[in-house]
Structure 1
Amino acid sequence: MSGLAVALIGGGRWGRTHASVLAQLSDRVERVLWVSRHNNDALNAFLADRMEARDRFTLLESLDDALALRPDAAIVATPAADHAGTSETLLRQGVPTLVEKPLALSVEDARRLVDLAAERSVPLLVGLHLLEAPFLHHFLRLSVGRAVAVAELEWLDPEQEIRQGVVKSSNLTTHKVDEIMPHLWSMLHLVDDNVEPQLRAVKPLPQGAVEAEVGLGRSRATLRFGRRALGRKRWIRLEFRDGGSAELDFTIEPGVIVIDGVQRPDFDGNCKSSPLATELTSFLDIIRSGQDFSSSPQLASRCIGAVELAEAVRTRLIEAEAEAVAVRLAHGGSLRDPDVSTWIIDNIAPLLHIQEPRTHNERRELLELIVDAVEAANLPDNVRDDGLRPMIATIWQSDFFGHMTRGWSA
């Protein structure tokens, strides 16, 4: 097959990141059908800086428009809440699909997609690039045969940073668990792919960070993650039953390895492509060559565990953070307390079905509006701002608000 027609669904920051990779794959991609309902100005500005690839991109406003042009493959990079619905539409049309993590927000939706893909014999892969990260595989090979007793993983991001020359802000419209847990699951899966991690406990930490304890067969793991850290951190440490340890800090890839207290030489990999470029190239090659996709580690049927773990952590964390808010308020705290407002925003913002704020001012206004709406939800008779009423209705229906008010009144 010659170059593919690829439907790229999503025009946000992550969609534009995918587009930048596709623009470099002219040997594999003949045409990109780029679907975005809201970001045409940003997409046109993006393409204006890449005139050599501009002719291969067609901007469309709906998925139906893209499907009418019969794409050979599709990449779903929409907000997480839309992943399941968009992927189902593509699969029903027989389009091989790569869905950025998370595959879905519920195990039920994930299994439905997997079943549909199997029924239609259509490739369905998940964007979990760490599963094939060469530096992680190299790190684990250095300790092959040593039984793991305890694993510690940290995945921390600042609220805002510059990545590849672009300002990146934490994604308010996706729950932090759904954004980060697929990465942590991927790392756990590489440590032991014979068992699925089982959640034992979840603890809220300051500034919206989280600590989770999970069982991993005969081992256990501590996971710490958050989106308001002072700096970026990617770290894994393994303690072995023989008393030794192995540690990889890949905050800057491919990272620094220490085995039993001794730093090892830097990983000297031959792959110069980014993890995303490697992932997209592998996916497109499967489609172009018609090769068997059943052995791919990113096959959706192999990755349902990522959704299972995220759903379990999210459910327990919503309750734990709501109870933490209730305790602070019961002891005279304020909704404007940094930890309290963070717990509220992290759990309410993903429910609002809104676009991610584009500017710092829009972001600040949204944060203030959410806290105002939660405060008003406690005193509905005093609400004078009709604009708050739809948000208050969503808050009332949320598990977070229910746990919070029960804890507050207890």
Structure 2
Amino acid sequence: MSGLTVALVGGGRWGRTHASILAQLSDRVGRVLWVSRHNGEALNAFLADRTGAPHRFTPLASLDAALALRPDAAIVATPAADHAGTAESLLRRDVPTLVEKPLALSVDSAKGLVDLAAERNVPLLVGLHLLSAPFLRHFLGLCTGRAVAAIELEWLDPEQETRHGIVKLSNLTTHKVDEIIPHLWSMLHLIDDNAEPQLGAVKPLAQGAVEVELGLGRSLAVLRFGRRAVLRKRLIRLELRDGGRAELDFTIEPGRIFIDGVELPGLDVGGKLGPLATELAGFLDVIRAGRDFSSSPQLASRCIGAVELAEAVRTRLIAEEAQAVSARLARGDEMKDPDISAWIIDNVAPLLDIQEPRTSDLRQELADVIVDAVEAADPTAHVHHDGLRPLIATIQQSDFFRHLTLSRLA
């Protein structure tokens, strides 16, 4: 069997997305060791629908089982909270590793992985595919030589949408900041790779959306993102210092480009791989050729800024959304108000050791349980449902609940 042996760690939606791409890269991949602790049946059903895939994929229930088969490379697509631990295990076995964003949930963890990779001389990359997306580079190339005064980025997703024939639900078990900020950091980095973002205001918006103001070198930037929008949206808008404007709407890639009010032809990507497929193919090609990874824009040591920005925004946002909940409750709104419940669920669901709900009904059930548990976690409440007690204990130990309690006492 020719090609690399690749360990794919993670059997959720994102893991299945990677599996679909690896199945198409048969010229590079000889065998996929697909690791999932909980989704064995779903993996087998997924593979059965793909011609030629089952004989090249080996579902496994543990990372140790995959490591025993000596993979040439690994892709980590587990829940975000598991990224750092999984990556560490792979690096300690000298396996070149690509970790889907976020690399880790804290700067300290991210730096620890970077140091370990350097110590063992093992390639460690981060799945920030926008850093090498040709359509973004093409758009920014059209603005070369024109200084940027202001930046506006929008990244909005609906709770449920159908993409490429697959129903996609937003991921409640990863904090929205850790899911989306790495993408926004990638775009900021492409706009100005000589400056790191300096965080300003963080503002909660309706339905759990967020607005972030920051500085980037001599530019001011506003980021808006959320996971309950009516429609999907991906937008970069630049205000140029010479009075001009540039805009890329890549809601549908490769997007529509407007420079100074005139629409210009977008990048022709006919027959080319999409950004994620390009990322995986490039990662595997470098391993097969034995080339140096040091020039990769996705090298983990170059991407610590994505974790730094996410950690800073998340820390600030937890406090701001808790205060927003407190203020709305104080004026008489109920816990199940759409805005209040969104702020609660977005901050509590990522704390729970649960699998991502796969249906709208299960998501609503989880949302109802979380809101009930937060209400019952109030020290003045009397808990009558023993099943909520473990959840209440987790909530009461969280930063979100601490800020909520302090705001309600103020």
Q: TM-score, normalised by structure 1?
A: 0.98
| Deviation sequence 1:185-209 (CA, Å, 0-9, x none) | 0000000000111111100000000
User: What is the 5 A alignment of 1:105-254?
Assistant: 105-254=105-254
Deviation at 1:24, TM superposition (A): 1.1
1:345 matched residue in structure 2 = 345
Residue type at the aligned position of 1:265:
P
Give the deviation of 1:267 after TM superposition: 2.0
Query: Whole-Å Cα distance in 2 between the matches of residues 267 and 95 of structure 1?
Result: 35
1:306 aligns with 2:306: yes
Once the 2 structures are TM-superposed, how far is the Cα of residue 382 of structure 1 from its aligned partner? 1.3
TM-superposed CA distance for 1:53, in Å, is 1.7
1:247-262 correspondence to structure 2 within 5 Å: 247-262=247-262
SS at match of 2:273: coil
Please say if residues 10 and 78 of structure 1, whose CA atoms lie closer than 8 Å, have aligned partners that are also in contact.
yes
1:81-100 correspondence runs (5 A):
81-100=81-100
CA distance in structure 2 between the partners assigned to 1:52 and 1:143 by the alignment = 45
Verify the 8 A CA contact 1:4 1:288 in the aligned structure 2. Answer: yes
Quick check: 1:2–1:288 contact (8 Å CA) kept in 2? Answer: no
User: How far is 1:81 from its partner?
Assistant: 0.4
AA partner of residue 56 (structure 1): R
| Mapped partners of 1:339, 1:84: distance in 2 | 32
What is the aligned partner in structure 2 of residue 37 from structure 1? 37
Distance 1:358 1:138 in 2: 37
Gaps of 5+ in 1: none
Distance, in Å, in 1 between the alignment partners of 2:2 and 2:119 is 27
Q: Which amino acid in structure 2 is aligned with residue 402 of structure 1? A: R
Give distance in 2, aligned partners of 1:208 and 1:20. 31
Residues 175 and 347, structure 2, Cα contact 8 Å, conserved in 1: yes
Match of 2:364 in 1: 364
In 2, the alpha carbon distance for the partners of 1:337 and 1:276 equals 37
TM superposition shift of 1:248: 0.4
1:261 to partner: Cα distance: 0.9
1:15 to 2:15 alignment = yes
Q: Give 1:70's aligned amino acid.
A: R
C-alpha separation between the residues in 2 aligned to 1:370 and 1:104? Answer: 25
What's the offset of the Cα at 1:25? 1.1
Cα 1:130–1:317 change in 2 (3 A) is: same
Q: CA deviation at 1:269?
A: 3.5
Is this contact kept in 2: 1:244–1:260, CA < 8 A? yes
Report the alpha carbon displacement of residue 34 of structure 1 after superposing the two structures with TM. Answer: 0.4
Instruction: Provide the rounded CA distance (Å) in 2 between the counterparts of 1:277 and 1:245.
Output: 31
Give, as a single letter, the amino acid of the residue that structure 2 aligns with 1:283: F
Do residues 392 (structure 1) and 404 (structure 2) align? Answer: no
4+ long deviations beyond 6 Å: none
Deviations 1:151-189 (A, max 9, x none): 000000001000111110110000000000000000000
Q: What letter matches 2:247 in structure 1?
A: E
**Partners of 1:346 and 1:195 in 2: how far apart?**
30
In structure 1, C-alpha distance between the alignment counterparts of 2:392 and 2:34, rounded to whole Å? 35
- Shift in Å at residue 52 of structure 1? 1.0
CA distance in 2, matches of 1:67, 1:194: 39
SS in 2 for 1:126: strand
What's the secondary structure of 1:103's corresponding residue? coil
Structure 1 residue 266 displacement after superposition = 2.7
Q: How many residues align?
A: 410
Match of 1:407 in 2: 407
Question: Could you tell me how far apart the structure 2 residues matched to 1:265 and 1:93 are?
Answer: 47
Cα separation, partners in 2 of 1:95 and 1:380, compared to 1, 3 Å: farther
Whole-angstrom CA distance in 2 between matches of 1:409 and 1:340: 18
For the residue of structure 1 that corresponds to 2:311, the secondary structure is helix
Q: What is the CA deviation profile of residues 290-314 of structure 1, one whole-angstrom value per residue up to 9, with x for unaligned ones?
A: 1010000000000000000000000
How far, CA to CA, are the matches of 1:331 and 1:20 in structure 2?
A: 49
Name the SS for the 2:296 alignment partner.
Answer: coil
Q: Percent identity?
A: 76
Structure 1 residue 235: Cα displacement: 0.2
Taking structure 1 as reference, are residues 396 and 124 closer, same or farther at Cα in structure 2, changes over 3 Å only?
Answer: same
User: How far has the Cα of 1:380 moved from its partner?
Assistant: 6.2
1:240 CA drift (Å): 0.8
Distance of 2:191 and 2:183 partners within structure 1: 13
- Tell me how far 1:38 sits from its aligned partner: 0.8
Q: State whether residues 11 and 34 of structure 2, in contact with CA within 8 Å, keep that contact through their aligned partners in structure 1.
A: yes
User: Which stretch shifts more, 176-185 or 263-272?
Assistant: 263-272
Q: Is the Cα–Cα contact under 8 Å of residues 135 and 266 in structure 2 kept in the other structure?
A: no
**2:279 aligned with 1:279, yes or no?**
yes
Q: Calculate the TM-score normalised by the size of structure 2.
A: 0.98
Compute the displacement of 1:272 (Å): 1.5
Q: Is the 8 A contact 1:203 1:212 kept in 2?
A: yes
- Answer yes or no: is the 8 Å Cα contact 1:21–1:277 preserved in 2: yes
Provide Cα deviations, 1:267-323, integer angstroms capped at 9, x if missing partner.
Answer: 224662111110000000111111010000000000000000000000000000000
